[in-house]
Structures are given as C-alpha cells and as structure tokens.
Amino acid sequence: MTDRLSPDLDEQAREILRGNDRGGYTVPTDGLYPYQWNWDSAFAAWGFSTFDIDRAWTELETLFSGQWEDGMVPHIVFHKDDPGYFPGPEVWGSGRTPPTSGISQPPVAAILARLIWARDPEAGRDRIAALYPKLLAWHRWWKRDRCGSGVAAVTHPWESGRDNCPDWDIGMAKVDGSNVGEYQRRDTGHVDASMRPRKEDYDRYLAILFFGRDCGWDQREIIRNGPFLMEDPGITFILLRAHEDLAAIGRELGHDVSELEGWAAELRAGVPQLWNPQVQGYDARDLRGDGFAGRVGSAAFLAYLADAATPALDKRMDEIWNRVSYGFPSADPAAEGFDPRRYWRGPSWPVVNSLIALGLQERGHAEAAERLRRETAEVIKKHGFFEYFDPIDGTPCGGDAFTWTAAIWLTWAG
Ligand code: 9YW
C-alpha cells in the first residue's frame, strides 16, 4: 500500500461505503443505482475489508443470496423495490426471490475474495469456505454457458460491465431495437444525458433483455438465437485470473482443484484467438458473424491481470495511454467514436485502472502501475469519488460518492 497523505479522504471514502450500505449490501451510488450490482459489490467488499472485515464478507454473502440454481450470479439483485431505476425487477421478470436481472457481470468476486481473505486469514476461513462452492458453481456456469467458443462471450453489453463501449458497436448494429415500445429512462434524470448511453443504445439493450425474458432465460436458446453474442477480452482475462485465484483458494482449503485448473488452461489456450493483428491488440469478436470489432479498449489491458500480455501489447499500451493524462481510457482517443465523457466510450474508470494496475505490478511493470495509481489518485483528490473521469482534462463524470471509487481509494489509489 502507498503513503497515506490524505487521512481526510480516507475517512470520506469510509463514509461513502457506510452511507451506501443498505443493510448487508451496498448500492453503487445513491439515486442512480439503488440496488446491489454484482462487480460493484465485490469491490465494496474489498473496500470494507480495510476497516470492517466482517462487513466485507457479508457483502459477498448477500450478493450470492441472488445466485440462480444453474450457478449464475446475476448482475443486479433487487432487494427492495425502488422506482428510481429502469429497467427494474418487473421488466427482467426473473420470477425469483429476491428478484434479480437475468444476465451476469464480470466475475471479479474470487479475485477480490482472495485479497480479502489475505487481510485476515483467521477471520476469513469459515466465510470463504462457505462461499467456495458458490463461487465454484458460478465459475462452472461461465465455463458451460459462456465459454463455448474457447474464450468468454457476453450475451448483452451490460454483462460485460462496459455497457456502451465501442467494442460492442458491430454486434449492436445488428440488434433491432425498433419494437421495444414506450418506456421511461431514469438514469438521465440523475445525471447529465450527454454522459450516458444514447436512446438508440437503450432500445437495443431492451430488445436483448426482452429476448432473454421471453424465452424464460433459457441459456441454450439465448446462445443459439439471441440477438447479441460477442467474445469479450475483458471477461476472458478477469475469468482466467479468477479461475486461478479460486483454484488457489480451493487448494488452501484442501479441495481437489483439478477441474478449475482445467478450465483455466482451456481459457488460456483460447486467448490468442482474441489477438487482432490489424489493431495490434486483444479485441472483441462478434460470434454472430462479423469478426473482430477492430477496437483496443481498456479491456485489452486486463491481460496483465491474467499474465497474458505480450511485448506488442506493452507497445500498444504506451501509445494509447500517452494520448491522455488521467488514467487508462476506456477507448482509444485516436480511434473513431471516442467520446471522453460518454460513459464507456472514452472515460477513465478508477475501478478498471485498479485491476490493470494490479496486473502491471505483478508482471514487473512497477513504474506503469505507479503512474496509473498516481493519475487516478490525482483526479479523485481534485474532484471527489466520482464514477468516472474525462481522461484528457480530468473532468468528473457520472454519479458522485461512488462506492467502488471509494473502495479502490482505500485499497489501492489512496
Ligand atoms: C446501467 C453500477 C453499474 C456498473 C456497470 C456500469 C453501469 C448499469 O453501472 O451499468 O444501468 O447502465 O456500466 O459496470 O456495474 O455501477
């Protein structure tokens, strides 16, 4: 951990976590996101582990209370109804208690659970032992229902956690959003519409959602005939790292982890298929027929987290990063469609920066890891715990008092 120069900000970050606590789970930010989101919660747990280890484990346990029988851990758990968010539980129609969405989100939980356990091995042993079979069932779901092509695919841009990033443009272009009817968005009532996905994106998000709901979330049908299916470098690298971390946890607990080791090895063998020589980077691929997306976004650099970087990727990282000043941009500023303040189409996301930096640090790129930390810390110190930032001038964007930004401050940036 780094020097703690700002005790005040540490306290503010803790206050944000406590303030966003709704009793056993944490909302990403008040108002805009009033439910429990999957990867946000894993980061919240990591943040809590710096000052309340019991609360950290509770966060993960509550997230897994929404797990489906097939192992899927949904991207949103709707514990208490809240009219401030659309699409809410009635739109997803999961028919479950607690109600949930019908897709998943980046499986960072095992990665962060391992780090949380390391903070207090004694206190964590029973908690991680109880979570282990649930994590394993989720990883098995990823392997069975998302990794059929050799790497991890997503069935909805929301499943990737990077909603409107340019990686999904070719897949989204084929989705017909013209029949979703009237609806009222709530996000643009909370934050500036110019920083959010556009209406045509939302129409398509809903069309994909309706397909899943209307087939009763039948995964085979969604994979075979759903409107959107793209291989995602982001989830692939996170899942690869998570398989390996879960195997390490399992070994420590005395389990046979050969199944997990096998999944990790298969995924690692599939990674080269995501390398697009034309853009010299790991790239998303459309499994509905159009090949590579032709984009190198921040997801490509999660390769460091999974020990899958190459010298060509190091070079690409320098080129892209040197076009901005405040952390890693979610899309390349030199590529078409870059928009420095529109959500995942350019902004720097502290939470993604923390994962890339973790990988850089472990892979012997200490200087780059420190630069990423410094640039991320600078905008937070200057503006506060915002959701994301303009990577060129540091303008704070999206929601304020954001849980995962506070969490990565406590664990990494601060
Ligand atoms: C939405 C909560 C979530 C994140 C996602 C982010 C956004 C929800 O907010 O998605 O309504 O667009 O893209 O990664 O988990 O912070």
Closest ligand 1 atom to 105 CA: 15
Nearest-CA residue for ligand 1 atom 4 is 161
pLDDT for the residue 14: 96
Q: Is the pLDDT of residue 141 over 50?
A: yes
pLDDT for the residue 161: 98
Nearest-angstrom CA–CA distance, 153 and 142: 9
pLDDT for the residue 290: 78
Nearest-angstrom CA–CA distance, 294 and 165: 12
Q: Model pTM greater than 0.95? A: yes
Distance 76 CA to ligand 1 centre (A): 9
Q: How many CB atoms lie within 10 A of CB 192?
A: 11
pLDDT for the residue 6: 54
Domain residue spans in the chain?
21-145, 330-414
Nearest-angstrom CA–CA distance, 135 and 157: 23
Closest ligand 1 atom to 387 CA: 16
Please compute the mean of the pLDDT values over residues 198-203 and round it to a whole number: 95
Question: How buried is 277 (Cβ within 10 angstroms: 0-12 exposed, 13-18 middle, 19+ buried)?
Answer: exposed
Catalytic residues, by residue number, are 163, 387
Please compute the mean of the pLDDT values over residues 326-343 and round it to a whole number: 96
pLDDT for the residue 79: 97
Q: Is the pLDDT of residue 3 over 70?
A: no
Distance 161 CA to ligand 1 centre (A): 6
* Ligand 1 pocket list (CB less than 6 A): 28, 33, 37, 39-40, 161, 163, 187
What digits encode the pLDDT tens for the residues 91-119?
A: 999 999 999 999 999 999 999 999 999 99
What digits encode the pLDDT tens for the residues 63-81?
A: 999 999 999 999 999 999 9
For the chain, percent of residues with pLDDT exceeding 70? 98
Please compute the mean of the pLDDT values over residues 44-66 and round it to a whole number: 98
Distance 5 CA to ligand 1 centre (A): 30
Question: How buried is 122 (Cβ within 10 angstroms: 0-12 exposed, 13-18 middle, 19+ buried)?
Answer: exposed
Please compute the mean of the pLDDT values over residues 388-396 and round it to a whole number: 98
Q: Would you state the structure tokens that stand for residue 280, as one six-digit string?
A: 């010299």
Average pLDDT, the chain: 96
pLDDT for the residue 289: 85
Nearest-CA residue for ligand 1 atom 5 is 161
What sign for the dihedral angle of Cα 108, 109, 114, 119?
A: positive
